[in-house]
Homo-oligomer: A and B are copies of this chain.
Amino acid sequence: MSENRTVRVAVAGASGYIGGELLRLLLDHPHVEVALATSNSFAGKRVHHPHPNLRGRTELTFSPHDGLAGVHGLDVLFLAMPHGHTMTRMPEYLDRARVVVDLGGDFRLRDPADYPRYYGKDHPAPALLSSFVTGLPEWHRDELRSSDRIAVPGCMATAGILTVRPLAEAGMLDGPVQVDARTGSSGSGATAGPANLHAERSGAMRVFAPTEHRHEAEIAQATGLPVRMTATGVEAVRGVQVLCRAPLAPGTREADLRAAYRKAYANEPFVRVVAQRTGTYRLPEPKILAGSNYCDVGFAVAAGAQAVLVGALDNLVKGGAGNAVQSMNVRFGWPETTGLSFPGLHPN
């Protein structure tokens, strides 16, 4: 049942890139009032200081992060905090709002045993892990309708899951999945270090995670398959593309892949199957997705019965803020595309 009143939301960590994208989407969302945006470094400043695209769109100023404690009646609290932060403070945040949407990595993995391996330490609140629902409506829509605890998956994980899972569910993949993820620089955040200086990062093909990237665990969790992932930073600000390979189950043909994707996504507003034989944009390409909430997925079959799967999205939108807003739309019963209609630009 949809709620027609305006819901009051807060964004914690709102001066970062994911935070800014949340503000962009939420400020234009017809059912939302942004009651609070926190940032210790920009406290007291107008939102357009770190987010110049929002100049003239709002009078909102940042509050210090502790300001959250003084706000009552929040319907939704979006947490866009650095990894490792919500892990330790989640109980407090759960008290602050009816619905909590965590965009960081701290509550994405269901198995506490994964944290030492992928996050380098034990999870301090393992009992909470199972109470979170993955904020990916395409695969968790029903749970999201009634969940008050939502963990939005990682940007590369979202692309990987949306690309691989339909075939995994259909039993078409026979063995481990290799994921080559390529990503733009915004994924490193607004406080990235010297390796992200323009002169160093420009034109890069930087294999920054040849093995053991955290998002690997999320894709494995969602698909039930072993996953080996590499992550490479390429020249782009926004955009993630995953190129996934896996052996096909015996007898699986290219047409079966198309059918499996269509079955999974025929009614999805934000997933498009892109696998053309001609034209410039034959397979998913993130450059036309900037600002949009689409994840495009495509496929080919290589010799040796190997599936070559491609997924693409904007890491800050479908790989973060857009996914969060879409999950909120599901949770509150609004049309899922509300506030998310921007189609992306071409050329771009």
Which residues of A come within 8 Å of B, CB atoms?
17, 20, 24, 28, 49, 51-57, 176, 178, 180, 182, 184-186, 188, 190-192, 194-208, 210-212, 226, 228, 230, 232, 234-239, 241, 243, 245, 272, 274, 279-292, 296, 300-304, 306, 308, 310, 312, 341-348
Asked if residues A199 and B28 are in contact (CB atoms below 8 Å), the reply is no
Q: Which 9 A-B pairs have the closest CB atoms?
A: A235-B235, A198-B201, A210-B300, A199-B347, A211-B302, A52-B281, A185-B198, A53-B346, A195-B280
Q: Report B-chain residues with C-beta under 8 Å of the C-beta of A241.
A: 205, 207, 232
Residues of B within 8 A of A283 (CB): 206-207, 210
Which residue of the partner chain B has the closest CB to A189? B199
A291 to B206, CA, bound (A): 19
Q: Which of B186, B210, B343, B348 contacts A203 (CB 8 A)?
A: B348
Judge whether B237 and A203 touch: CB under 8 Å: yes
Taking CB atoms, residues of chain B closer than 8 Å to A348 are 53, 203, 237-238, 290-291
State the copy count for this chain. Answer: 4
A291-B199 contact, Cβ under 8 Å, with A238-B348, A303-B212, A304-B226:
no
Q: A344 vs B192: C-alpha distance in the bound complex, in angstroms?
A: 22
Q: How far is the CA of A194 from the CA of B192 in the complex (A)?
A: 8
> Cα distance A272–B55 when bound, in Å?
8
Q: Nearest chain-B residue to A203 (Cβ)? A: B287
Chain B: CB-nearest residue to A228:
B302
Inter-chain contact B347/A205, CB cutoff 8 Å: no
